[in-house]
Copies of this chain bind each other. A is one copy, B any other.
Amino acid sequence: MAGTDQKIHDANETEPPVKKHKVGGDAEPQANGDDLTDLSAFRADRILSCDSRNKTIVAVGSFGAADPGQRALVILEKKPFDADGFDKLCTVESSLKKVFRNDVYGNYDCFIERELNAVKATVIHPASDKHIQKYETQLIHIVEETPEVYKSVTLPYLENEQLNLQWVYNILEHKSEVERIVFEDEDPSVGFVLLPDLKWDGKDLKSLYLLAIVRQTGIKSLRDLTADHLPLLQNILTKCTNIINERYGLPTSRIRAFFHYQPTFYHLHIHFTYLQYDAPGIHTERAHLLTSVINNIQLVPNYYQTITLPFTVRQSDKLFTVLNKKGILA
């Protein structure tokens, strides 16, 4: 699954199953666009977002008459440059067209060989309303979630909207993505699986992004963590940083290990990125460093059942409506 956007896993996770995998059977869905060789059949109805910083564009549309009544999302993202491949760009094939010059500064349009300038394309097909909502630019609010708000609003909400975690169990049970596993600790209590996040191509260390998924089921998020989980958290911290150090040459001081709150799926997992990677979801209102979580629990064993935790919610989310009705948003 190398090379996909995390958002897709996210969508997958917050999504009621669009199509159920038959366990042990033919798990390949049918209407899957597997035969795509060009995009010419796709008709965009609407641009959902266009980000000039990340160089992404997301369109919703359809594959026309051959595929009636189905919607699809096409997500295009310019690929990062390859630091080792710079010389390949400096050939006569890379023609320059002057835009302007001023003193020592020259600005050009550069046309690179097509094969060296691929765009990452993600197609979600068929796409549900939730997929579409997920990619649409939204107003965001910060919520101060007291333990009471968690118990009375967030928890019932997330239990009700329960996400399909089958893809997580598939990974833990070696039913899918086995070849992507970087490291595995099979201990049922403190064990985990470490694998590249969908955002990461598994190669460019500057955007290193791995995910540790715990073996234990039933730990939904940060909110559930107590002193009982310290051995699990310590084990993941120690082993994952060691492995990342050995395998990718990054010392612990150059790794960012963190939880999301709210997470995108409610099976405990920890994100590992290169510290200098400006990854999505690392802002202070969403990311909680693993070391800080351990420190907090060591200081106050029921810290995460006691403290008010901030999280962000999109104005279009059902949860926003629920919180707003109860007057919880400031």
- Interface residues, chain A, with chain B CB atoms under 8 Å away: 1-4, 8, 12, 17-19, 21, 29, 32-34, 36-40, 42-44, 47, 50-57, 59, 74, 76, 78-83, 86-87, 89-115, 117-127, 137, 139-144, 167, 176, 204, 206-207, 241, 251-256, 258, 275-279, 282-289, 291-292, 295-296, 299-300, 303, 306-308, 310, 312, 329-330
Set of chain B residues within 8 Å of A110, measured between Cβ atoms? 39, 76, 118-121
CB pairs A–B below 8 angstroms (28 shown): A1-B105, A4-B102, A8-B105, A12-B105, A36-B96, A38-B91, A38-B95, A39-B91, A47-B86, A52-B204, A53-B54, A53-B279, A55-B55, A57-B81, A76-B89, A78-B78, A106-B124, A107-B123, A108-B121, A109-B121, A110-B121, A111-B114, A111-B115, A112-B114, A258-B284, A292-B308, A299-B306, A299-B307
Contact B207 A52 (CB under 8 A): yes
- Option from B12, B106, B251, B277 in Cβ contact (under 8 Å) with A52: B277
Contact A330 B283 (CB under 8 A): no
- Chain A interface SS verdict (over half): mixed
A245 to chain B, nearest CB (A): 9
Closest to A17 in B: B103
Interchain CA distance A3-B52 in the complex, whole Å: 13
A19, A97, A258, A292: most-surrounded residue (chain B CB, <10 A): A292
- Option from B51, B109, B167, B288 in Cβ contact (under 8 Å) with A206: B51
Give the top 10 A-B pairs by smallest Cβ distance, nearest first. A52-B80, A252-B330, A78-B78, A284-B287, A57-B81, A110-B121, A52-B207, A141-B253, A50-B83, A106-B123
Closest to A296 in B: B307
Contact A33 B106 (CB under 8 A): yes
A96 to chain B, nearest CB (A): 5
Contact A122 B105 (CB under 8 A): yes
